[in-house]
Structure 1
Amino acid sequence: MREIRIALTGNPNVGKTTLFNALTGSRQHVGNWPGVTVEKKTGRVSHNGYEIEVVDLPGTYSLTAYSADEVVARDYILEERPDVVVQVVDATNLERNLYLTTQVAELGVPMVIALNMADMAEAQGDTIDLARLSEFLEIPVVRTVGTRGEGLDTLLEAAIKEAATSPHHEHTIGYGDDVEATIAMLADALSTDIDLARRYPLRWLAVKLLEGDENVLDKVRGGPALARVESILSSIDSDEYEAMMADKRYEAISAILPQVRKANVRNMSPSDMLDRVVTDRYLGIPIFLALMWGTFQLTFTVAAPFMTMIEAAVGWLAEFVAGSIEPAWLASFLGDGIIGGVGAVVVFLPNIFILFLILAFLEDSGYLARAAFIMDRPLYALGLPGKAFIPMLVGFGCNVPAIMATRSIEGEKDRLLTILVNPFMSCSARLPVYILLAGTFFPEQAGSVVFFLYVLGIAVAIASAKLFRSTILPGEVSPFVMEMPPYRIPTAITSLRHMWSRGSMYIRKAGSIILIGVLVVWALASFPLGVEYGSAESFAGMIGHLLEPLVAPLGFDWKVAVALIFGFIAKEIVVGSLGVLYGTGEETLSSALLADPGLSAAAALALMVFVLLYTPCVAAIGVIRQETGSWKWAGFSVAYGLVVAWLLAFVVGHSAGLFLGGI
């Protein structure tokens, strides 16, 4: 069976990932690009005797290296040389999407255009002549509808056919006599660098140098062409040339469009009318907050019966093990350690999956992009770029990929600022702690309590950004430009796939990191030999009592101190550790917590605030170190988070204590 490799590229929000999922199905692998922490997705599909590897490149508006995403997409095409590049184009927004087409075509690579969301363009009354568009661009154009799997076979056949051709056409835009003369001079100078000329198209290098692309200039440095190149570039205004070249690209696109598309002139569409409401400067934020509050209310309401069933099953299993297995240490190991620890975390699987399903629905519908838009103004005023809201939203799932997602932010200070405040976004790993404590101590207001915590995390992140911007990271905020995706009705399969992709990570953690963590806690609670399980004489008790003075002002005892220490590994271990240390046996963990006279409702609220704000996990610390290139910033993030967590937990706990009693 013959093999070829396809690279999927395209602007953000053109349905590229949907098309990737439709092509590859379950045969997917997610990792990181070598040397960088930008997500890499690959998948495989078999078609007509070919085994095809599909690589989903990061979404990008251009091939000029303004961000890490753009560098990854461009360098993969140039360095890895896929057999064919498939650009996914939004049929409802041809002009903006074809700008990238003009840049990819300059590379001379075999190329196919997937005219995606064609059904939406047709529903608007637009007619696109695919044959004429293909003729003008000299690139095969295939109609696709990723959400319904339409056109996939035709797309693969076109890609196979195009991959069999040699690199061709290097289809270019004419930039005018002056610019073309300068391009020719640069190409001639670059030709003296044999190694560079062998690896990259000379005209493309010249174009990028005229656009002031530092990444390309770095490739020239150290070579024999550098002196002549710098001499030519010093004689021109790169900003002026870049603007002129962009204008020429859009002129070429504008000349093509009337000949290939008949656009229906229409009044305001239902999508436009909906946008006027959800993106309104006064209504937008209240609508967003109301949706988030409804999300958490629905999560608790729907999950409650499933949680009860799982909790009962875990309790029965723990009781059965305790009463039927000998010796006693093995019964304790299985019952208190594995079942009590991991079981305390598994109870919250329904909440995790329901939350991810709702967020997948909001994302696939196109609403979350609007949420980023409405948050741009307040974020900008407080010192954060609007683009930071995307990593902040990702942080609701997991802070690790959220910190990685900051690579799409151009400004170095803006990016560092976003990295430092992202840990305050309440990731899904903290959710089991909220569900346990809010459901136990505030059963009637559990959804509202969790909503309060998420809003508090956002507020602390924004306040911290304002503080950092005025002190350690001063500077201008970079502007936010974002293309709104069209509203779509999410398909059940796509939303369920997104839910499973994120939720399965939680299951894997329960079977690995969390299991190891709770077993370590069990060992600490069981030794030295001969001490009572989980007593003050155990290693866990010694550690907890050593740290207890630090957390006692917050209303926490030594058991909570131990749980918080292990929460550095992963926040779910806080729940697992409590399950182990309380040795619940026949009763549920919720019942054990309620029966503890040392843990009041006010202290439980303070504990949730502390878990929200202190360091997410060791993985987050590691990725902060990797992304900033400095242990200094990683250490600062840990220290700052601990101080803020302690102070706010103290304030919230004692304030709540005035009404709830305790602490």
Structure 2
Amino acid sequence: MGITIALAGNPNSGKTTLFNSLTGSNQFVGNWPGVTVEKKEGKLKGNKEVTITDLPGIYSLSPYTLEEVVARNYLLNEKPDAILNIIDGTNLERNLYLSTQLLELGIPTVMAVNMMDVVEKTGDKIAIQKLSDKIGCPVYEISALKNKGVMEAAKAAIKASTSKKQEVVPYFSPEVEAAIASISQLLGEQVPVSQKRFVAIKLFERDDKISQVLNSIPDVEQIIAGEERQKDDDAESIITSDRYEYITEITSEILRKGKTEKLTTSDKIDRVVTNRWLALPIFAVVMWLVYYISVSTVGSWLTDWANDGVFGEGWSLFGMDIPGIPVLVGNALSALNVAPWLEGLILDGIVGGVGAVLGFVPQILVLFIFLAFLESCGYMARVAFIMDRIFRKFGLSGKSFIPMLIGTGCGIPGIMASRTIENERDRRMTIMTTTFIPCGAKLPIIALIAGALFNGASWVAPSAYFVGIGAIIISGIILKKTKMFAGDPAPFVMELPAYHWPRISDVLRSMWERGWSFIKKAGTIILLSTIFIWFTSNFGFVNGHFGMVEDLSDGLLAAIGRGIAWIFIPLGWGDWQAAVAAVTGLVAKENVVGTFGVLFKYAEVSEEGQEIWATLATSFTALSAYSFLVFNLLCAPCFAAMGAIRREMNNAKWFWFAVGYQTLFAYAVSLCVFQLGSLFTGGGFTIWSAVAILVVALFIYLLFRPYKQATKYEIQIPGIKKKAI
């Protein structure tokens, strides 16, 4: 029979790194809390009978956030055979709080003190055997990053799994221990013996997730009330205080700090990068460099090679001319003498559409390398800390920025990462705004517009990122002043990990996983989409007969596009090709580029070798192109991300409100960009200019109107109705 071992620990304690070491999994590790938002499973290397479950990083088993709910429900209901509790050796006191709760579950537990290599560098000493004696479970030293001691800890957990239950060392005050024992007796057979202590403590804390048991045990309330009177404090505070007294006693005996008082390298770096005045400019410069290198220099060179060579006429290698994929496919089709319509489908539909998207893979891979490095080295955790200062001013915490950081790769895990936010209102607002950040699927659109309309200008790609940041901030300020989202932001507690050079394998793994996800989408969703686009654009009704058309403007897609193009005329791109591209982008954002690849053909269109991008440039002005870019960055995300929003909202009305808000907000911003831009560049004043001015005025009013919720409080006086003050 198989054995299940659960990995449990604080966020950023090294759980997922340990999970990778034990299972060989390709799960990527981000160096900030919130990367793992649901349990993941893998088989132990060398022993397929042992399943390792990686639970979300949590600070306690008092479920304030969805990730804590996932972890607690799993431990209580799934009942793993053993728990491997990962402890950050550089922050013992904080991590041991969760350890005390895990031991109360009655599940055999082994503790693994991680990051011992860092502990040794600082000159600190941890008495492992004394810690084991004090805490009441086996304790092992490990370094998950360097793969030291991990298998020994896993073997100890396997051995512990044969135990029937975990013996708990009593550590609450004698009075509280007596009260917990009394509550345990009152539970009778309603709770399994192994969980009685845990449930009794939760009842003592008045945990609302277990409080329904109180209805059948009236004596529990009397016990709790008596202890509260005796201690002159509320029940939860009594338990918390006792826990920390116990933890402080342990750490004072087992931890010997190094004598050096010098600032660490991380502290010195943080004095600069988290400085009140320098932090944001440094962040802006870092992101500008990331996008500049990814889109305008190294990434651009590689993409030009892919577009002109691999998916174009070909390239030269060591003096040999190697034909591109369209040429090779075209020659093969000619040799096979296939029907013209099939040749058009394969060359213009599949190769043209999918090739137009895959041509941007080099830029995407370069971007993902930079993002993986920033995540792994520890800088992105500082960004969350920095953004907390800004976000808190409009009612959100830095926790809301973590999903947005994750969303730079893909919006779906970003939306799922909102589970780390305990406040329901903040969580919903984060879900609504996370996809404003450009994800990997939007990068081809950014690169296309930057290259075709702005001659590769270095400011276009970074500006797209900061348009997303600006949209989040503006939305946050506006929404937080409504009754639906009013309230104080959730507290933001996070340890800043020490800076370190990430392993090259981790960075490349992250790049490949995100890039491969993009490529798979090109081979499935985008492939089907481009086939549909080719068919509907090349077939239509002419003179009352349905068949293949010579002019794409006579096709079914053109008819559909002309039916909706009027909606986008005020935004500056009211032709049917752009309208269709924007709509197909709802299926997958990469489809915007794939649609243009089909509609403007991928083959050469002039004797000078002018290709699709130059042809596209003739359909837009600089203003209308940037308006098109802004709309596609901010409007409702792809269908898969919409599905994630629907699941996380768990409410149809909230889902439609979120998608409607995103689309309306994108339309309003895009309208202002084009109309006001035209007005300031001599385009003349029109009725739409007036509408754009009114929209800006409305934005300003919503941003600066008084925040009534912040200045009005309600008090309840006995015998008198509630009164606002």
Superposed pair shares fold, TM > 0.5: yes
Which deviates the most, 240-249 or 60-69?
240-249
Query: Among residues 254, 266, 269, which one is paired with 1:260 in the alignment?
Result: 254
Query: Offset at 1:202?
Result: 1.4
Q: 1:534 to 1:225 in 2, by over 3 A?
A: farther
Q: 1:402 to 1:50 in 2, by over 3 A?
A: closer
Q: 1:29 to 1:272 in 2, by over 3 A?
A: closer
Q: Secondary structure in 2 aligned to 1:576?
A: helix
Find out whether 1:58 has 2:56 as its counterpart: yes
**Which residue number corresponds to residue 22 of structure 1?**
21
Count, aligned residues: 647
Which deviates the most, 320-329 or 644-653?
320-329
Q: Is the 8 A contact 1:89 1:113 kept in 2?
A: yes
Q: 1:444 to 1:423 in 2, by over 3 A?
A: closer
Query: Among residues 139, 143, 146, which one is paired with 1:145 in the alignment?
Result: 143
Q: Is the 8 A contact 1:65 1:213 kept in 2?
A: no
Paired AA for residue 76 in structure 1? Y
**Which residue number corresponds to residue 331 of structure 1?**
343
Query: Among residues 277, 291, 299, which one is paired with 1:296 in the alignment?
Result: 291
**Which residue number corresponds to residue 605 of structure 1?**
626
Query: Offset at 1:621?
Result: 2.0
Find out whether 1:636 has 2:653 as its counterpart: no
Q: Is the 8 A contact 1:88 1:113 kept in 2?
A: yes
Query: Among residues 640, 644, 647, which one is paired with 2:668 in the alignment?
Result: 647
Which deviates the most, 262-271 or 373-382?
262-271
Unaligned runs of 5+ residues in structure 1 are 31-36
Q: 1:595 to 1:23 in 2, by over 3 A?
A: same
Q: Secondary structure in 1 aligned to 2:210?
A: helix
Q: 1:332 to 1:121 in 2, by over 3 A?
A: same
Query: Offset at 1:518?
Result: 1.4
**Which residue number corresponds to residue 612 of structure 2?**
592
Separation in structure 1 between the aligned mates of residue 637 and residue 64 of structure 2, nearest angstrom: 29
**Which residue number corresponds to residue 475 of structure 2?**
464
Query: Among residues 260, 266, 270, which one is paired with 1:271 in the alignment?
Result: 266
Separation in structure 1 between the aligned mates of residue 602 and residue 679 of structure 2, nearest angstrom: 30
Separation in structure 2 between the aligned mates of residue 426 and residue 574 of structure 1, nearest angstrom: 14
Q: Secondary structure in 2 aligned to 1:142?
A: strand
Q: 1:188 to 1:490 in 2, by over 3 A?
A: same
Q: Secondary structure in 1 aligned to 2:459?
A: helix
**Which residue number corresponds to residue 484 of structure 1?**
496
TM-score by length of 1: 0.92
Separation in structure 2 between the aligned mates of residue 650 and residue 380 of structure 1, nearest angstrom: 29
Find out whether 1:559 has 2:577 as its counterpart: yes
Query: Offset at 1:138?
Result: 2.1
**Which residue number corresponds to residue 600 of structure 2?**
582
**Which residue number corresponds to residue 508 of structure 1?**
520
Q: Is the 8 A contact 2:28 2:506 kept in 1?
A: no
Separation in structure 1 between the aligned mates of residue 393 and residue 605 of structure 2, nearest angstrom: 51
Paired AA for residue 671 in structure 2? F
Q: Is the 8 A contact 2:5 2:158 kept in 1?
A: no
**Which residue number corresponds to residue 317 of structure 1?**
325
Partner deviation per Cα, 1:221-247 (whole Å, 9 max, x = no partner): 7xx735444565577769722122112
Q: Is the 8 A contact 1:211 1:239 kept in 2?
A: no
Paired AA for residue 601 in structure 2? G
Separation in structure 1 between the aligned mates of residue 412 and residue 681 of structure 2, nearest angstrom: 36
Partner deviation per Cα, 1:495-546 (whole Å, 9 max, x = no partner): 1112222222111111111111111111211223434256222110001111
Q: Is the 8 A contact 1:395 1:423 kept in 2?
A: yes
Q: Secondary structure in 1 aligned to 2:90?
A: coil
Query: Offset at 1:391?
Result: 1.1
Paired AA for residue 6 in structure 1? I
Which deviates the most, 650-659 or 593-602?
650-659
Q: Is the 8 A contact 1:610 1:646 kept in 2?
A: yes
Q: Is the 8 A contact 1:372 1:389 kept in 2?
A: yes
Separation in structure 1 between the aligned mates of residue 28 and residue 146 of structure 2, nearest angstrom: 22
Question: 1:400-479 residue pairs with structure 2 within 5 A?
Answer: 400-445=412-457, 447-471=458-482, 472-479=484-491
Paired AA for residue 584 in structure 2? F
Separation in structure 2 between the aligned mates of residue 372 and residue 134 of structure 1, nearest angstrom: 35
Separation in structure 2 between the aligned mates of residue 411 and residue 302 of structure 1, nearest angstrom: 42
**Which residue number corresponds to residue 207 of structure 2?**
213
**Which residue number corresponds to residue 702 of structure 2?**
none
Query: Offset at 1:126?
Result: 0.7
Q: Secondary structure in 1 aligned to 2:137?
A: coil
Partner deviation per Cα, 1:182-211 (whole Å, 9 max, x = no partner): 3233223322xx3x3127611211111222
**Which residue number corresponds to residue 301 of structure 2?**
305
Q: Secondary structure in 2 aligned to 1:277?
A: helix
Q: Secondary structure in 2 aligned to 1:215?
A: coil
Query: Among residues 171, 191, 197, which one is paired with 1:197 in the alignment?
Result: 191
Q: 1:449 to 1:8 in 2, by over 3 A?
A: same
Query: Among residues 153, 166, 169, which one is paired with 1:168 in the alignment?
Result: 166
Separation in structure 1 between the aligned mates of residue 429 and residue 27 of structure 2, nearest angstrom: 33
**Which residue number corresponds to residue 639 of structure 2?**
618
Separation in structure 2 between the aligned mates of residue 65 and residue 590 of structure 1, nearest angstrom: 60
Paired AA for residue 458 in structure 1? I
Query: Among residues 379, 390, 398, which one is paired with 2:410 in the alignment?
Result: 398
**Which residue number corresponds to residue 321 of structure 2?**
none
Query: Offset at 1:38?
Result: 4.2
Partner deviation per Cα, 1:105-139 (whole Å, 9 max, x = no partner): 11121111111110001000011122221222222
Question: 1:7-46 residue pairs with structure 2 within 5 A?
Answer: 7-26=6-25, 38-46=37-45
Q: Is the 8 A contact 2:109 2:166 kept in 1?
A: no
Partner deviation per Cα, 1:333-374 (whole Å, 9 max, x = no partner): 111111111111111111111111111111111111111111
**Which residue number corresponds to residue 154 of structure 1?**
152
Find out whether 1:187 has 2:181 as its counterpart: no
Query: Offset at 1:419?
Result: 1.5
Q: Is the 8 A contact 1:436 1:590 kept in 2?
A: no
Query: Among residues 70, 76, 83, which one is paired with 1:85 in the alignment?
Result: 83
Q: Is the 8 A contact 2:604 2:610 kept in 1?
A: no
Q: 1:175 to 1:416 in 2, by over 3 A?
A: farther
Q: Is the 8 A contact 2:438 2:465 kept in 1?
A: yes
**Which residue number corresponds to residue 589 of structure 2?**
571
Q: Is the 8 A contact 2:20 2:26 kept in 1?
A: no
Q: Is the 8 A contact 2:60 2:101 kept in 1?
A: yes
Paired AA for residue 430 in structure 2? T
Partner deviation per Cα, 1:64-105 (whole Å, 9 max, x = no partner): 111111111112112111121111111111111111111101
**Which residue number corresponds to residue 33 of structure 1?**
none
Paired AA for residue 559 in structure 1? Q
Q: 1:120 to 1:326 in 2, by over 3 A?
A: same
Separation in structure 1 between the aligned mates of residue 268 and residue 114 of structure 2, nearest angstrom: 24
**Which residue number corresponds to residue 554 of structure 2?**
537
**Which residue number corresponds to residue 225 of structure 1?**
216
Among all aligned residue pairs of Structure 1 and Structure 2, give the percentage whose two residues are the same amino acid. Answer: 41
Q: Is the 8 A contact 2:604 2:611 kept in 1?
A: no
Separation in structure 1 between the aligned mates of residue 529 and residue 208 of structure 2, nearest angstrom: 46
TM-score by length of 2: 0.85
Query: Offset at 1:461?
Result: 1.1
Q: Is the 8 A contact 1:536 1:545 kept in 2?
A: no
Paired AA for residue 467 in structure 1? I
Computing the radius of gyration from Cα coordinates, the structure with the larger value is 2
Separation in structure 1 between the aligned mates of residue 533 and residue 194 of structure 2, nearest angstrom: 56
Q: Is the 8 A contact 2:86 2:112 kept in 1?
A: yes
Separation in structure 2 between the aligned mates of residue 27 and residue 638 of structure 1, nearest angstrom: 33
**Which residue number corresponds to residue 4 of structure 1?**
3
Find out whether 1:71 has 2:92 as its counterpart: no
